[in-house]
């Protein structure tokens, strides 16, 4: 099994969103951990080349530092989601503390979309958060953040798995930039040639 953790989590928590409904050849690119001045504007320009829309799960701390980038993401037609204030791991936090961190992030993000950092979230936290947020997981992860994944490998982590409704994870972070700068333009070009439309998650 390639990604044992999400598979197990998937069966335990069917209320989480792993994939969007198929239809209209839509794909859902998502970018976590930004905004980041060295990476986010570049991502926006790459997306514009194909009139592609995406969803940016921002860390609240970064949104507080760079509010103009959050505004730029929105004005360019993309969605913004909440990825906690301090990139908190749900399994390591009491629900109250975790929700507080997310609420603090939302004062800078004002979103109804949430993605848990590391995909680590407890059943109790899901219960509390799903009253207010759509919790968006993924079905494809590029592993662009990994120093042991090459830029080419990053493309192979994505392309063979793409299907209508796929939710694909990238990162607009410095850590991921080595892989992202190589892989994203090539992946965008390939999915465009295959007739897919990249859409923002808008729930
Ligand atoms: Zn993250």
CATH of residue 147: 3.20.20.370
Rounded distance from Cα 87 to ligand 1 centre (Å): 6
Please check whether residue 111 is in contact with residue 84, taking contact to mean a CB–CB distance below 8 angstroms: no
- Is 171 an active-site residue? yes
Q: How far apart are CA 52 and CA 43, in angstroms?
A: 11
Does pLDDT of 42 surpass 70?
Answer: yes
- How far CA 42 is from CA of 1, 46, 107, 177, in Å, comes to 34, 6, 26, 10
- Return d(Cα 83, Cα 78) in angstroms, integer: 16
User: Mean per-residue pLDDT for 44-48?
Assistant: 98
Q: Is the pLDDT of residue 43 over 50?
A: yes
Q: In the predicted model, is pLDDT for residue 140 greater than 80? A: yes
Is the residue at 23 inside a domain? yes
CA of 84 to the centre of ligand 1 (A): 9
Calculate mean pLDDT across residues 81-91: 94
> Could you tell me which residue, 203 or 165, shows the higher pLDDT?
165
In a domain, residue 191? The reply is yes
β-bridge mates for residue 171, sequence order: 32
Please enumerate in sequence order all residues whose Cβ is within 8 A of that of 29, keeping only pairs 6 or more positions apart, or say none: 47, 52, 54, 55, 168, 170, 198
pLDDT for the residue numbered 8: 61
User: Could you list the residue range(s) of the whole structural domain that residue 40 is in?
Assistant: 4-198
* Tally of structural domains, the chain: 1
Question: Cβ of 185: how many Cβ atoms within 10 Å?
Answer: 14
203 domain-assigned:
no
How far apart (Å, rounded) are the C-alpha atoms in residues 122 and 97? 13
Look at residue 188 and tell me if it is in a domain: yes
Q: How far is CA 6 from CA 38, 141, 158, 173, 191, in A?
A: 30, 11, 16, 22, 24
Q: Is residue 120 part of a domain?
A: yes
**Active-site residue among 32, 101, 139, 172?**
32
- Tell me which residue of 55, 10, 9, 52 sits closest to 32, measured CA to CA: 55
Instruction: Report the separation in Å between the CA atom of 83 and the middle of ligand 1, taken as the mean of its atom positions.
Output: 7
Can 32 be counted among the known catalytic residues? yes
């Amino acid at each position: 099994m390639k990604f044992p953790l999400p598979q197990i989590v998937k069966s335990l928590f069917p209320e989480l969103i792993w994939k969007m409904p198929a239809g209209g050849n839509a794909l859902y690119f998502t970018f976590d951990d930004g905004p980041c001045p060295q990476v986010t504007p570049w991502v926006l320009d790459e997306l514009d080349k194909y009139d592609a829309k995406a969803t940016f799960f921002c860390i609240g701390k970064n949104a507080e530092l760079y509010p103009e980038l959050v505004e730029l993401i929105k004005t360019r037609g993309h969605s913004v989601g909440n990825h906690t204030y301090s990139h908190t791991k749900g399994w390591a936090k009491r629900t109250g503390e975790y929700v507080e961190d997310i609420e603090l992030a939302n004062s800078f993000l004002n979103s109804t979309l949430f993605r848990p950092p590391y995909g680590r979230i407890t059943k109790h936290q899901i219960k509390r958060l799903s009253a207010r947020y759509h919790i968006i997981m993924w079905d494809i992860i590029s592993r662009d953040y990994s120093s042991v994944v090459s830029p080419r490998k990053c493309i192979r982590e994505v392309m063979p798995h793409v299907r209508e409704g796929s939710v694909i994870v990238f990162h607009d972070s410095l850590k991921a930039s080595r892989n992202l700068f190589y892989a994203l333009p090539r992946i965008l070009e390939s999915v465009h040639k295959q007739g897919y439309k990249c859409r923002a998650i808008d729930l």
